[in-house]
Structure 1
Amino acid sequence: MSFLRNAWYVAGWSGDLGPAPRRIRVLGEWIALFRLADGTAAAIGDRCPHRFASLGDGKLVGDSLQCPYHGLRFDRDGRCVHNPHGDGSVPAGGGVRSYPLVERHGALWVWTGDRGRADPAAIPDFARFDDPALAVSRGHLKVTAPYELVTDNLLDLSHAAFIHPFLASPDAADRTRTGVRQEDNTVWSQLWIDREPITPLFRLVWDHPDDQAEMRSHMRWTAPSTLYLDVGMTPDGAAPDDSPALPSAHLLTPETEGSTHYFWMVGRNRGQADAALGERIHAGIARAFAEEDEPMIARVAENMDGADFWSLRPMILAGDAAAVRARRILAQMIRAEGAAPDAPAAARIPAIEGAQHGHHRN
């Protein structure tokens, strides 16, 4: 397992970073997050170079972060700007790393690679969640599994019928069409279900007399690990853009090789001012992720016991086509970056010619 370091990863939600600093582990590195007096967010290495205490457990003094152990202070660039001991001089090498940080779409995006390549334009587009016409709820959970397994799960839209009764019905196989498409380093996994009974989740926002509709679930994966799900139910004769929709974002940040931060947000275009409705939707989505997805993925990781995914020769089904493409793209990008000289060669990854590409719509 290796990481793509020249990429933007979510380190938290903007609304969760207030006056008190926080810490999070990203790609194996502990990072301290804090806000300057003007509200600007900053990210620096969490480990104090003196006795290795956590700067994220410290406090703000002006625009500097003070170590809770011996009072050294560090600015947003990671420089030690105050030493309360001795003559106050700062020993050589007395700083910590700083990380480029951008706030966008309600999230704190950090760059863990070469600073010179940290282009904010490369942050994936989740502008739909900035639309004031959409009510948005945000959450986070820890998954005890590598991030690639979480990506596999999200791109495999067929699993919802088996473990998510709140989100999908179990008997839609004969009414389901699927599609896979790729645009550069972005992969779409698409699913349509005809005459789908209104699911328990959509029943919360349904405002039409029909008790069936066409359901669409289109998952977009952007390397290395951010996904957007366009999901909605459209009554017969209605336009998708005018029908109930519950789009969601799934922002995966590797914590370590065996654990993943799963940041998610879900929006709704019905009942936007209804706080109780928002709480019910949030609770249902959170339960599906924490009580259905997470235990399943964690057990998969346990059964793999640290083995390379392809070395186990997994059976490839039609629903795996998008995930296989994503794994190919990610492996190639990591190799190109030079971070994983031992990454599996493309020839070791099975072809997916037998996968069902199905019906495509734009």
Structure 2
Amino acid sequence: MTATPTPSAPPDARTRRRWRRYLADERAEAAVYRDLARRRDGEEKAILLALAEAEGRHEQHWLDLLGDQVGPPLRGDWRTRFLGVLARRFGGVFVLALAQRAETRSEYAEDADATPTMAADEQIHAEVVRALAARGRVRLSGSFRAAVFGANDGLVSNLALVLGVGASGVASNVVLLTGLSGLLAGALSMGAGEFVSVRSQRELLEASNPSPEAAHALPHLDVDANELALVYRARGMTAGDAQAHADDVLRSLSVTTAIAPVGVGAAGADVAAGDPDDEFETHGTAWGAAWSSFCFFASGAIIPVLPYLFGLTGLGAVAVAAALVGIALLGTGAVVGLLSGTSPVTRGLRQLAIGFGAAAVTYVLGLAFGGVVG
């Protein structure tokens, strides 16, 4: 372990304050991991408590440097405090994703007063939290993907539809009817499409799963020919490994059947291996994805229509619709960024640029079409 560096001269007030800020951040991060650990059990709880212990070692580093000049405790930065509030009340993948970002923001690599070991620790902590968050991301990936895609599609497509029709000069009630029709048609289409997509994907995966019936053929195989080896070769083993594994399975089968003739035991389980729960976690259910897609498309598509529902017309309605959709796009982009461990600002601005770009094209076409018709 790298020893705590001893300053060659007494630290000035600015340096002491920086050390105290680091100390406060380490204490706050350790508290976050302890709060997250309270909501978990087993291996995840042990890992989170180990992270809290590591933050405690970093805390001690700054205590040693400050000595008798620790002074009154500072509060951690606002992001760490906010993360602590979320950890105490919610937990889950969202908080883990935020913790992952917090670890990647460490300044220790550029600070001469922090040891190289501490900087390396922070990098490894980010990977540990990334691995913990990955479990939750896998569980979210099916329905969450449908939800995010549905919300953004509703926002962008209905804003483009409303602005394009409105720019052509038609009456406001026509714009309102068009927006509501686009909401319903799009939500139904998204829900149906997502249902078919997920169901088809699961059916394709199920067709690739080993058949449980194959296990019942094992006792009747020709031991000398041992075609069981072909199964393992088809699954990716080399010819030699497949033959050796098949021989082991058949030997195991002969022992199992001699002891318990009913069933085929572990040997059959090896042939019929497959975990449908993994597919469920990765892809979600068809109904769950369809319902998420329908609801989130509708929730996004209603936003551009709101100004017209409340009686606004003309450019005022256009401006309010664009502003509301812009806020929503920034929000959905930021959530995706946080959950993926990337910058929420960058993802939010990307969503905004894409949405407004599509809406601007249809608005210009609506103006041109209205001018031609007029």
TM-score, normalising length: structure 2: 0.22
Q: More strand by proportion, 1 or 2?
A: 1
Q: More helix by proportion, 1 or 2?
A: 2
Please say which structure displays the higher CA radius of gyration.
2
